Structure formats: structure tokens, C-alpha cells
Structure 1
Amino acid sequence: MSILKIGGATVNQTPLDWKGNSSNIVNAIDKAKSMGIELLCFPELAITGYGSEDLFLSRWYPEKALSQLKSLLPYAKDISICIGLPVRIGEALYNCTAVLEDQKVKGIVAKQFLAIDGVHYEFRWFTPWEAGKITSFDFFGEAVPFGDMIFSKNGFSYGFEICEDAWRGDLRPGYRLKTRAVDLIFNPSASHFAMGKSQLREELVSESSIKLNATYFYVNLLGNEAGRMIFDGETLLAHQGKLLLKNKLLSFKPYQVNAFEISSLIRELPEIKSDHDKNLEFTSAITLALFDYMRKSRSKGFVLSLSGGADSSSIAVLVAEMVRRGVEELGIETFLKQAHLTLEIKTSNPTKEITEHLLTTAYQGSDNSSCETLNSAKSLAESLGATFYNWKISEEVSSYTQKIEHAIGRELTWAKDDITLQNIQARVRAPIIWMLANLNNALLLATSNRSEGDVGYATMDGDTSGSISPIAAVDKHFILQWLQWAEKHLGYSGLEKVNSLQPTAELRPQDQHQTDEEDLMPYPVIVEIEKLAIRERRNPKDIYLILQQELDLPNVQLKNYISKFFRLWSRNQWKRERLAPSFHLDDFNVDPKTWCRFPILSGGFTEELHELDQLDQ
């Protein structure tokens, strides 16, 4: 009976960190050898990192990747290694997986289909490989087979579908591998995280093992590699439709190795059942992303303007949860080392002590701020262990207001100058909180969410100001329910006051009883319009006809909400262009640098909204 022990190695890589990337790869190989793995597969572009962007356009970068591949040859002894890298032939660059065996390059397989939707721009850098084509590649003076080929190990034949290759239906390379009767198909991937995506991958892998009549093995990159996209490090294996292997996702470790033994007994193994909870996925992804962003930027922590409201409070909890999860998985010493921190733990609660060192918060009250939000911010910060400051911005607001009143020769009033008087309060908070970030050599956390990004309900250089915007890719409705979940399921009792408050900007006088939803529309309505308008790219009339059947709203009110959304969306593209970098967390986002591009100047859907107005008349 033939037996083959295979493995998947997921690695947390960083573009241009040649030493760190190589160390992760070599350590993973050593770990695999100690586990008795005979055939080890790394993810797509593991040598360089997937997020290398226009570095791929240069000549020297792919050449450096080849030299890194050469340096790995001595480790390909008593183990076969499959690893991803870019390879240039003439003017064309290919996304490849190289197979190393007996300290030589046995062959190089090139990706046949490129990802071009959503956050992907692979056609900017790579050329797709032609199915069935094999050529010869000069690897430092040695001719190496290059193209569409299969390999064998211990009597098992195997081939590759590289990430996007597997998602192309009847065109996918797997069907040609099936005709060649391969036993095993590897899918080395750089598949970005999105809530709910793991379940789709499980279905793909399980169904592929039936359709392609082969054991199907998927391995993904890990971590916040280059700033925006997060990789979950997922490793999956399925045989005859049964999911037999799934690892722990979104690990804080620099690499993971998972093994599986293939033999005739594989048919008898029990199927794995997994749960998919979006709240857990969100928490795991964003805490790892924050940790990687902090350590890779060599920052010493985070600074946050903590208003006591939902958005800033969710970010504060996520930083504390980052510390808790990181310490739990890595241990105190390794966590501090990876974070480049020197800290002597002096208390019996190391998580709170580290949080105090890494998270500095400040409540910046104006004349329109309430005691309720101050108490909410203070009690939350104390419960997390975060450093907390409290100061007023009334003098700064008054100073700016008096100067402009003197210049224009009249007094500003709420009746005439509502937006101006609101924005100055949000905007004057930025300089002093930036001072705190600079003093601490820390990252300033911006607090805007996706719903605010849709309609521009944010002050430029105010609450949008920051080094990173952690929740800009998720809607406000999700954040509100997540806070309730975090209080109950994660044990953050300091959220009790936060969860009792109605979301408000607190920028108008308190007697006006300002709330976010009064200024905009109910957040669940924004979510439904957003899905149809941005994710599905439908026009206002279609959205009205769909939501007319789904939402219990008067027709006139629904029209007004849809019109307001499109008017505000068009008017505020310039704000979205200037938002701080954000993590990709959902199946779509409004970041023009990743998912959704829209003209800064446009006709603003004038004709389309007129067509909407004419309906039902």
C-alpha cells in the first residue's frame, strides 16, 4: 500500500522583507521535516508576498525572487517543496509554483487564470499561461521544465491549480488534470479574507475533490501582509466530497504547518464539521491585522480618540482583544518580541498591563458633549486597562470661531452655519490627538465605518484622520450588533454603557437631540441600499423596485432614502479618496484604492434619480 505524507505551510510574509520571509519558509520546512512530511506545499507567491504591487513590474524584483528560490535548494533534501514566486520570461511575468526535489528545481508551473475582480489587479503585473504549453526555463544555467505539467511522489501523481485557476468553472485546469488521472491537486493561494469566505472555500475544496476525482489540498497565505488585505492562512483537504482537514485560521504565529497522510485508508476517515460565525471571523481578522500592522510598521502602539460611542469603542475593544489573543497564542515573551516591545510585566494581569502600554485613549469633550458619553468612554478604557486622558476642546473651537467671525464680519449661528459649526468641533480634535500619537511613536486610529464612507457622514481631517482606519470596511449596523455580541460573548462588560447609548455625533447643541439616524436614515436601510447600489451595481430605479417588496416603508420615504443615498454618495467620493488605509473585511468595500472606484466629479445620478421620482406617479 502506497503512503504519502503531505503538508501545507502557511506563512506570514512581508514584501521586501527577504530575510524575514526566508526565515519563515526555512522554519516551516524544518518543522515539516520533523513531522515526517514528504511533500510540502507553500501558498501562492510565498517568496515575495502577494501584496508586492508594482514591484512586480520591475526586472530586479523577480530576479531577486529567483535567487531566493535558489537559496532554498539545500533544504529540498529528504522532502519535496512546492513554493510560489514570480518568474519573468522575456517581457512577460508569470505567477508560478516551483517544485524542488533532491536539491534541484524539478519544474515550474505557471498560473493560467488571473484574478481581476474586487481587490485584485493581477493583469497589471502578470500574464496568464497557455493551457497545455510546456517550455524550458534557464534557471542559473540549468534547463528546467516550465508550464503546464504534473509531477509524482511515492507513486502518487499531483498537479496544481493556483488560486484563481480553481474558480473558473468548466475552464479550470483541474479538468485537464483529471484527464491525466492525477491523484492529488494542490491549490496554493493568496485568497484575501472576507467574512463568510471560508465556507465558500470549504464548498469549493469538497466539491472539487468529487468533480476532479482527486484528493484536493488548499493552502493560503497568512496575516496582514502589506497593509490592506488580510490572509487567513486556511489549509483545507477534501477527498471524495468529505472535508478531512481544516486548521486554525488567522493565527498570530509567523507560520503554521499541517500534515495529512494519504493512503487507501483515507476513505474511512470521518468528515470535519466546522462552524462559521461572522462575529468571530471579524474579531479574529481585525485583531491579527492590527497586530501585524503595528509590528510591521515598527510602531509602539495605538492612540485613539475615544468618544464613548460605538465606533471608537469597538476599536478600543479590538485592540484589547488583539493583546489577549496574541498573548494567549504566542505567550508573553514572544508577543512582546514580535511587537518589538521591551516591557517588564509587574502585575498579575499581563493582558491589561500590555494594553495600558499599547493603547492610549483620550475623550475630547466639547460644549455639546454629554456626561453619558464621557462616563461611557472612561469606564470602557478603565475596564480594558487602556491609558485614558480627558480634556475639553471648547477653547480651540471658540478661538477658531471668533477668528472667522471677525474676518467675515458676522456671528456664526446654527440656523445659517450648521455644517461649519459641527465640522470645526470634529476638526480641532485632530491636531492634539496627533500630538499624542507622535509622542508615543504610535498609530492614530481613525474611527469611520463603511456606512459613513458611503454618504460622507464624517469630517475630513476630523474623525477620518488617522494612520489606519480599522472598521472602514464594515457597516454601522454590523458594528452595533458586534458590540452587543462582544459584551456578551467576549466578556467585555465595559461595553454596557456604550451599548445603552443612541449613536450620535454630539456636534449640535444638546437641546437639538442629534442622532446619526435622524441625520441620515436608519442604518439597516443604508445597508440594504448599499448592497444593491455598490456591491450589485444597480441603478436607483431597480433598487426602489426591489426594496419596495422587501422593506416595510412608505413609497415616498423609500424614494427619499434612495435619492439621499445616491446624492450623498456622488458628492463625497473625494472623502473616500482620502480615507486612511483600511482592512478588507467583507465581500465588498468602498475603498477606491482596492474595491470600488468612482469618479470624483460626476453628474450625480441626476437623470437616474429623475426616473426614480417618476415611478408610481
Structure 2
Amino acid sequence: MITSPTTEKGSPVSSVAVIQEREPHIAARISSIHNLVRKTNQEIWEEAGNPIHATFYNVYQAIDWDKPSIFDESPEEVIVLKFVDSFWDEFEDRRKIANGDEQVKADAVRVGQYTDGQFPTDSREFAKRIFYTVFMGSENSHIYMKLGKSEWGSSEATKLRAKVLADEIGSWHLDVSIDTVISAFLSLFKTLSGKSPCYKVDGGSNTENLGLQNIQARVRMVLAFMLASLMPWVHNKRGFYLVLGSSNVDEGLRGYLTKYDCSSADINPIGSISKQDLRSFLQWAVIHLGYPSLAEIEAAPPTAELEPIRSNYNQLDEVDMGMTYEELSVYGRLRKIFRCGPVSMFQNLCFKWGGKLPPLEIADKVKHFFKYYSINRHKMTVITPSYHAESYSPEDNRFDLRQFLYNARWPYQFRKIDELVSNINGDKVADAGLHGQENATGITLDHGGGMGVIAAGSGDPKTGL
């Protein structure tokens, strides 16, 4: 027999109801346990020849209501601890080896391929055995002339930052130029077509510019897999290495990546984390993990570094995308967590951004995002599986199973947005479920219906941020 809590007068009440009222964040887990017990009881009942015995047993644990159920870890700590717990738990704490943990010691010796009774005692030495890093530069990192003196382009600065970070980690670091490989491809293309494409800064079209960037990106992927396969052989080691991807949620959501470039790997540790959260993590890691070079990496403007650097031009991600990573982070949460389509996202953002931007500009931003989201959604079908860390991930493999072919014009949705914009002019903006609320500009949000779950004004200070 399963007992239930009772009220002060002795009448039974639902365990889930009590939990829902006092601790709503664990109600779902309790409900799941109840369902499991119910299913198990049914299976036992259907099993012939097994008698059923009534017993008094509580399926819920006693809860200390005076002690809130919260996690002490910050989001930045969770990024490290949960990843380590999932992948590297047996190797991350060398103190276990020093304290005589024979299983951990045996695993570390096996993975690091130690011989003659040796075992890891230093994290940097261990990293050099299991971790290779490589900077794959091209002519786009050449030095340019400005005001009569030489200055480094951003790619040269990135090259230096990569070397410094590799030294701090202890990885086996390589620095190679991919120019000869790219030249071979371009020479072959000229033989086939009789034409030579140019970058945009040199007078080329957008098609030429994109094609030249994609060659570099895909050459880097092929080289990474070649090194992962052959570098162990070079150093007389058994087996092969895994290639780690380096694209994040925002790049995947916007489609700001090339199929089969750095987004293609064996696994992507950061593939389900947004750029904003990653930047916060880098700031945290400078202090708590002891990698000071991450401060300079975090402060550097995000850039793909696939176009030539000129004195008056330097490729930047946010300029190329037509939106900031901060905006992308908001779009991603509204799209995935709150199930917003174009119309409900516009309605939410009118409430959230209404004090800063006019509705027409918000409408343009929403349309711009959904245009490129729909055009590039197909890239998610081949995206590298990522370590699942957040609820806003757009990964198509097993987490965000939405369609990947859209009408990029969004005729119905964009027409509805235009109607809402035209009806504002001091009147009302429709928003799903925000009856009678006003935003910073005094726009009343009182229209029911719409798409998605309302996010703005939900009471959560971090909602949509």
C-alpha cells in the first residue's frame, strides 16, 4: 500500500500536489517515479503465479522544507563539472592516482600509453600525450601596411593566442599553413573552368567570396581528421584521436558555418552552448582554472578570419551575420525554450525591446533572423553531435527535431508581423497571453492567441536573456 501525506485534518492529499505547491521544480521527477511504480505494479500483476502482498511503503523521500533544493554551482561551473563528469571523470583528478586509486591509475596509463611503470603526475604532461592542437593559417593572416608601418592582422594575433593557450594547457601544438592546398584546388578549378575567383575586398562577387571562404574551411576539416589519424603513428602510438568541433549554438542557429568545416568533427564539446554563455565561461575560467590567456581570447572580436585583411577591412562575425551574438542568444531561447515562431517572437520582443527600438526595427530584425534560420536549417542535419548542456540547442540529431526545409519568405507570418506594425502607431500590439500589461513605451499587450509560450514579463529575470 502506498501512503500519502495528509492535511492537518487528516484527509489525504496528493504527494505531487504538495510538491507542486512547495517545490514545483521537482514535481515532474516525483510524477515520473509514480508512473514508473504504477507500470511496475501492473507488470507484476500480469505475471502469472506471483502473489501480490500489500505493504506500507512511501515512494517519496522525506523533504526538509526549511532547506531549499538548489544547486550551488554557477552555470560556468556546470559547463566544466558536468562535461568532466561525463567524459573525463576518471582522468581529471590526479590526486586519485597519488592516493592509490588503482583503477584510475590503470585507465590513465592505458589512455596515455605509459610504459615501464610510469604514470601521469602532471596535468600538462598528460595533456601532451592525449591532446593535439593545430593552428591552420592561410594568406589571410599576412601582415598589411598601415600608416607606413607594419601591423599584425587579427589572424596573426589569433595565431599567437592559440600558441599561448596551448602552452598553458600542455597540448602538442602544431602551426601549419594551408596555402599550398588551397592553391592546388584553385589551380584545378581554373583548369576546369578557365576562371579564377576573387575575394569581395578584391572586387569579387558574393558567390566568389563565399566559395573561397568555404575552400579554406573544408581544407581545415580534412587536415584535422588526417592529423587525428596519423599523428599517433608519427609518435609511435597505437590507435587514433577524436576530432573536437568548435561551433556553438548561435552559429548553428543562424547557419553561420560551412558544412564540413570546423563544425564537423567526432564530437563538439560546445555545440549546445551559446556564444554569450561561452564568453561568461571564459571569464570564469581565467580566475578559477588558471588559464590567463583566455581573457585576451574572450576580449577579441569574433571573426571567421576567412577573408583577406586590409588596412580598411577586417572580417567580423556580427557584421557578416547582420545581427549580434547577444541578439542571437535571445532569438535562440525564444525559438526553442518558448516555442516562438516569427509572429510570437515579434510580439515578445515588442514587450522586451519596446523601450529601446521602434516596432518596425524589431520586425526587421525578426524577419532577418528567420530568413537565414530557415535558409540554413538544413545544415543541422549533418551537424556534429554535441555534448548536451542546454535547453536552447538547435541540434537536429536527437534534440531539436524540427523540419529542415522551410519557405524562407514566411509569407503568412511576415504578413501578420506587418499588420501588427501597421496597427501600432500609438494603439495596441498583440501578444500571446499578456493581457493588460504594458511595456516601457506604454504599448498594451492584450491580444490572446498567437504562437509559442509567452516569455517576456514571465517573472523570471533571466527569461529571454
Shared topology, TM-score over 0.5? yes
For residue 337 of structure 1, the aligned residue among 103, 106, 121 is 106
Q: CA deviation at 1:239?
A: 3.1
Name the amino acid aligned to 1:360: Y
- Alignment match, 2:16: none
In the TM superposition, what are the counterparts of 1:436-585 in structure 2 within 5 Å? 436-439=227-230, 440=232, 441-511=240-310, 512-520=313-321, 521-551=323-353, 552-585=356-389
Cα distance, 1:144 vs. partner?
3.8
Partner residue, 2:415 = 610
Equivalent runs, 1:150-229 vs 2, <5 Å? 151=55, 157-160=56-59, 185=60, 216=61
Which structure 2 residues correspond to residues 291-302 of structure 1 after superposition, within 5 A?
291=88
**Count of residues in correspondence between the two structures:** 353
Name the CA shift for 1:609/1:406 in 2 (closer, same or farther; >3 Å). Answer: farther
SS of the residue corresponding to residue 93 of structure 2 reads helix
CA 1:470–1:399 in 2, change beyond 3 Å: closer, same or farther? same
1:135 is aligned to 2:45: yes
In structure 2, distance between residues paired with 1:128 and 1:577: 38
Q: Classify the secondary structure of the residue corresponding to 2:278.
A: helix
1:327 alignment partner, one of 94, 98, 104 = 94
* CA–CA distance in structure 2, aligned partners of residues 273 and 429 of structure 1: 43
Provide the alpha-carbon RMSD of the alignment.
3.0
The answer (yes or no) to whether the contact 2:94–2:121 under 8 Å persists in 1 is no
Q: CA deviation at 1:574?
A: 2.0
Q: 1:330 to 1:288 in 2, by over 3 A?
A: farther
Structure 1: runs of 5 or more not aligned: 1-109, 115-126, 152-156, 161-184, 186-215, 217-237, 244-270, 296-322
Once residues 296 and 39 of structure 2 are traced to their aligned partners in structure 1, the CA distance between those partners, rounded to angstroms, is 57
AA of the residue aligned to 1:368: N
Residue equivalent to 1:397: 182
CA contact (8 A) 1:472 1:582 kept: yes
User: Cα 1:460–1:500, aligned 2, differ >3 Å: closer, same or farther?
Assistant: same
Give how far 1:556 is off: 4.0
Q: CA deviation at 1:337?
A: 2.3
Cα pair 2:253 2:394 within 8 Å, conserved: yes
Structure number with the higher helix fraction is 2
In percent, how many aligned pairs have the same letter?
A: 25
What's the offset of the Cα at 1:274? 5.2
Distance apart, 1:333 and its partner CA: 5.3
Q: Residues 374-398 of structure 1, C-alpha deviation per residue, up to 9 Å, x if partnerless?
A: 0000000001111100000011112
- Number of the residue aligned with 1:308: none
Structure 2 distance, partners of 1:356, 1:391, is 18
**Contact 1:576/1:592, CA 8 A, preserved across alignment:** yes
CA distance in 2, matches of 1:150, 1:386: 61
Cα contact 2:221–2:262 (8 A) shared by 1: yes
Q: Determine whether 1:410 maps to 2:195.
A: yes
What is the SS of the residue equivalent to 2:47?
strand
TM-score (norm 1): 0.53
1:145 Cα deviation after fit: 5.3
Provide the TM-score with structure 2 as the length reference: 0.69
- Deviation per residue, 1:418-472 (Å, 9 max, x gap): 2111111111111221111112311100111111111111111111121101111
- Aligned pair 1:278/2:75, yes or no? yes
1:111-126 matches, within 5 Å, as 113=35
Distance verdict in 2 for CA 1:380–1:133, change over 3 Å: closer
* Aligned-residue offset at 1:480: 1.2
Aligned-partner Cα distance in 1 for 2:96–2:360: 53
> Compared with structure 1, are the counterparts of its residues 144 and 510 closer, same or farther at alpha carbon in structure 2 (3 Å cutoff)?
farther
Distance 1:507 1:128, change over 3 A: farther
Does the C-alpha gap of structure 1 residues 272 and 366 become closer, same or farther in structure 2, counting only changes over 3 Å?
Answer: same
Residue identity in the other structure for 1:544: F
CA distance in structure 1 between the partners assigned to 2:195 and 2:418 by the alignment: 39
Kindly indicate which of the two structures has a greater share of residues assigned to strand.
1
Q: Distance in 2 between matches of 1:519 and 1:532?
A: 22
Shift of residue 133 of structure 1?
A: 8.5
Report deviation, 1:130: 8.9
Contact preservation (8 Å) 1:446, 1:580:
yes
Matched ranges for 1:368-383 at <5 A: 368-369=140-141, 370-383=155-168
Partner SS for 2:280 = helix
